[in-house]
Amino acid sequence: MSDAPDRILRIDAVLDRTGLSRSTLYRKIQSGSFPGQVRIAERCTGWRESAIRDWLRNPMFYQVEK
């Protein structure tokens, strides 16, 4: 594992990497089968790159830990 800081990905990068549509992405977040966003600023959110990598390793069985 690298000591590099975890990057924050914006929506377009997440959609590009996952191949999901915007509506499918938000539906998966709602169901707990995709990582949620982190707030960057008052009206700005993104996703941790490490969380997206974890999802990509096993998208069928990914569950958000509560």
Q: pTM for the full model? A: 0.86
Task: Report whether 25 contacts 33 (CB < 8 A).
Answer: no
Check pLDDT > 60 for residue 1: no
Task: Report whether 46 contacts 10 (CB < 8 A).
Answer: yes
- Taking every pair of Cα atoms in the chain, the longest distance, rounded to a whole number of angstroms, is 33
Per-residue pLDDT tens over the stretch 2-42: 566 799 999 999 999 999 999 999 999 999 999 999 999 99
Angle at 44 between CA 38 and CA 45, to 5 degrees: 25
Query: What pLDDT sits at residue 2?
Result: 59
